Structure 1
């Protein structure tokens, strides 16, 4: 469990495209108390019969927890705060090196600034 700001900033995250948006992934739970205000946190559930096959995203996963997703933009969930995932269609594992949350935030703020200038 990552439960301090210091540990969160030391963590290196995988970069993914999930439902077409760039997100960060770690296989560790992260405390809600340390998530920055401009970042959205979700948890992934893996298939009971096929470990490491991602099947669902939600606000909180209690059974078959696979990892945590951090996103600069919200991910649309259903009214129960979950969404099914077809790993073959909904996830693209980016070959880029792992990055910190601060690097991800900086990159997204820079992109947002460039969009606002246009």
Structure 2
């Protein structure tokens, strides 16, 4: 008898979860930033770094650029990013976010090695 009650409870929860997922609208949040700063040379050129390879960070932009590099190349870097986010919606309230301008933990880093 108790097995039947548990089975009915599980089926009810599954149906309720499916109903909630399909019928009730969900909020979509896109959180994150596109980071194009991999290498000082590429950043100085506005990330237009695909056709040339001056250092090992060319692996991020065009892996075939390794053929232009001589010997063993090593590149390591990190980005200290801080800030806040504010979004003014036409349909609803203003949304604020961020961590109060502090540096993200752990900071996004890159490591490139070619031979």
Q: Structure 2-normalised TM-score?
A: 0.19
Higher strand share: 1
Higher relative contact order structure (alpha carbons within 8 Å, sequence separation ≥ 6): 1
Higher-Rg structure is 2
Higher helix share: 2
